[in-house]
Amino acid sequence: MKLAIITIFVSLLLVKYCFATSGNLDISSFGGKPNSDISKALSSAWTQACASTTAAKVLIPSGTYQMGALELKGPCKAPIEIQIDGTIKAPANPASNDVASQFLMIGNADSITVSGNGVIDGQGANTWKQNDCHKNADCKGFTMNLSFKFLNNSIVRDLTSKDSKTFHFNVISCNNFTIDGLKISAPDESPNTDGIHIARSSSVKVINTNIATGDDCISMGDGNKNVTIENVVCGPGHGISVGSLGKYKDEESVEGLLVKNCTFKGTLNGVRIKTFPNSQIQISVTDMHFEDLIMDNVENPIIIDQEYCPLVTKCSTQSPSKIKISNISFKNIKGTTKATPEGIILACSSGVPCQGITMADIDLKFNGAVAKAKCTNVKPTITGTAPTCDA
């Protein structure tokens, strides 16, 4: 009799822990309480969700929490949603996460949704003071990012990410990945706080998102295919950028980008493609379309720069960029530019001139006058109204 009861009890435990099926996995039932470090609780809840054979939800309820660096990895057995309603604070001390390359990494899984009205607070202020990477090539790296790596068919929505120590979101090697309705912010003067960096990924969508940071709004590294950026507001920051490309030997081509219905407010650049001179490889940048954009006081609204060389990099200008840029269109782009009369700069490579560049209905003003276009090694096709190129 006793044995039978024990057997039933043990079986129930087994059902609970080994064959967990579904339901809400609230971190509070794993010891994750407000005002404490939830690293262990979140990690345990994830492990259980990942083992579940039916869809599971990990819940971080409202409240303020601390967390150390954490990796949540698959493969998992069924879809998982992580709902973040609370505020998660990274350690304020820049050194405390040296061992980790990122604050929170979610990766190697299929059908992951990260949602909620919560906040990821990178507490970057102390790090920004120590970050001298804009003037020192051997600078100490501060690698605290929210990273999504090797995720398929996944969505991140609604969250707020603020004051990241470096990049806010890093999307690497993801396929069919949607970012929808995020709010990303860091002060104008914070270094390297890019909003979203995307590399080696395909079918990525960034929509309905507000990004105000000290560096690129969205930057695209090598190997991306089929990226759509729509209904995004950028500024302050450095705008939407493809590249820089051509610095490393193992880079892959970038193809397929649509940037549509976006607004740039007081940014350094609007839309930009940048490649290093004397590039290490011959890859291509093709099929990029920029349309229905509003530029509000932007320094360089439209810029292709194939002689890109940031201050800290020692670039050899011995040979031109080998990266081939083709099939690029700029359509229905309106607003104001500041700094120089050239609202459009198309500085293509003398080695591989740009091909298939079209401009249609560009209406940019500098101090009330029509902004000019400066072009080298490119003969854009112009339709509708758009400035013709000055040499």
Ligand X SMILES: *[C@@H]1O[C@H](CO)[C@@H](O)[C@H](O)[C@H]1NC(C)=O
Site string for ligand X, 278-297 (x = CB under 6 A): ---------x----------
* CB-nearer residue toward ligand X: 89 or 331: 331
Q: Give the interface size with ligand X as a residue count (CB under 6 A).
A: 32
Establish if 355 lies at the interface with ligand X (CB under 6 A): no
Hey, what are 235's tokens?
């500024």
Hey, what are 10's tokens?
């043990």
The whole-angstrom separation of Cα 381 and Cα 391 is: 15
When binding is defined by CB under 6 A, the residue of 24, 44, 228, 280 that contacts ligand X is 228
CB of 258 to ligand X, least distance (A): 8
Establish if 251 lies at the interface with ligand X (CB under 6 A): no
Look up 134 and say whether it is catalytic: no
The DSSP 8-state label assigned to residue 37 in this structure reads B
When binding is defined by CB under 6 A, the residue of 130, 203, 280, 358 that contacts ligand X is 203
Establish if 214 lies at the interface with ligand X (CB under 6 A): no
CB of 228 to ligand X, least distance (A): 5
Indicate the helix (H) or strand (E) that contains 115.
strand 112-115
Establish if 157 lies at the interface with ligand X (CB under 6 A): no
Residue nearest to ligand X (CB): 166
Residue type, 332: N
Establish if 101 lies at the interface with ligand X (CB under 6 A): yes
| CA torsion through residues 226, 143, 265, 160, sign | positive
Q: Using CB under 6 A, which of the segments 29-37, 81-89, 165-173, 337-345 binds ligand X?
A: 165-173
Q: Exposed, middle or buried by CB within 10 Å (0-12, 13-18, 19+), for 7?
A: exposed
Q: Exposed, middle or buried by CB within 10 Å (0-12, 13-18, 19+), for 250?
A: exposed
Long-range pairs for 248-251 at CB < 8 Å and ≥24 separation?
A: 248/280, 248/281, 249/280, 249/281, 250/281, 251/222, 251/223, 251/280, 251/281, 251/283
The whole-angstrom separation of Cα 95 and Cα 58 is: 29
* CB-nearer residue toward ligand X: 205 or 374: 205
Residues near ligand X, by CB under 6 A = 74-75, 101-102, 108-111, 143, 145, 147, 150, 152-153, 155, 166-167, 170, 175-176, 192, 203, 205, 226, 228, 231, 233, 261, 263, 287, 327, 356
Q: What are the residue numbers of the active site?
A: 238
